[in-house]
Amino acid sequence: MPTKNNEQLKGVIPAIITPMNEKGKIDYGLLEKQAVYLSEGGVHGFFVGGTTAEGAYLSTDEKRELFKVVRGVTEGKQFLCAAYIQPSTAAVLEQMRALEASEPDYVVAVTPYYLSMRQEDILEHYRRVAAAAPAPLIVYNIPGNTHNPIALETVLELAEEENIAGIKDSTGNFIGFSRGVLGSSPAGFVWIQGEDYLDGPSLMIGCHGIVTGLGNARIEPYVQIYRAAREGDWQTVRECQARINELYGIIRLCGNPIAAAKAAAELAGRGSRWMRQKTQSLTDEQMKEAAKILQAFDGG
């Protein structure tokens, strides 16, 4: 069984938001501010154009510019993952070709969505994407959005593919995730947790990294929890997870993790609350409540 060379694919990987104005136009200046905050906060990589970025609603040209801005901030300090959130294999391949000049370190794709997919359909999808990908592929399992879950057995089969680097698991299913981390996937296949509530437990069992959308609000506890796990300081891991659970209060406020992260970034002066679908944005009253939650989180 070959060993994959994915040494850099680990650590804290924020799924960066896409700041927009009230009319749904991207504010690239605020994007740069947010990228600087995260980069200087000690993250290891970036997810660009993913779910938290509202990637399914972004054009190829917009994604190209997002990637350019984030790369300009990181200057090679962090690896970059380009997410192609598209409903079909053909659409992923088309966007991947169009953005190949952006030279991402990793590419990311969800399962096809809208129509129901069998596991054999999902296998074929990822094999075709991996074969054409200009960089190692990260499988992205987020059935809450795609409605097409990837079975553990399918993940393990895909792990054997040469150009598939790992998986970002946003199922919230810790049983399946822990079976994968502690199971018999090939050496070098990377397991990344995508549910903030499960970061601490996942690091405790040896996962390689965490992707966070909520970290756009406050990245410090995520960097601390990963560092503590690397040092075997499990008490600090538990304390950091408790802090992350507290920060989750802004999501519980509105029920929309992306809108919550964007609102928190606006309150910090490095983002904007506005969603591309404007009605999903936090109201003025919700913003006041979010400010109270963040003030309590910050100890003020």
Dihedrals phi, psi of 224, to nearest 5 degrees: -65, -40
Dihedral angle at the C-alpha atoms of 240, 244, 247, 252, nearest 10 degrees? -150
Position 3 pLDDT exceeds 80: no
Instruction: Give residue-wise pLDDT tens across range 197-211.
Output: 999 999 999 999 999
Position 7 pLDDT exceeds 90: no
Is-contact 205 181, C-beta < 8 A? yes
Please state, in angstroms and as integers, the Cα–Cα distance from residue 224 to each residue in 30, 43, 228, following that order. Answer: 25, 10, 6
Position 2 pLDDT exceeds 70: no
Position 300 pLDDT exceeds 80: no
Domain 11-232 belongs in CATH node 3.20.20.70: yes
Is-contact 264 249, C-beta < 8 A? no
- What distance in Å separates the CA atoms of residue 216 and residue 41, rounded to the nearest whole number? 11
pLDDT of residue 6: 80
Question: For residues 184 and 142, which has the higher predicted lDDT (pLDDT)?
Answer: 142
Position 1 pLDDT exceeds 50: no
Instruction: Give residue-wise pLDDT tens across range 221-264.
Output: 999 999 999 999 999 999 999 999 999 999 999 999 999 999 99
Position 135 pLDDT exceeds 50: yes
DSSP-assigned beta bridge partners for residue 137: 107, 164
Q: Where are the domains of the chain?
A: 11-232
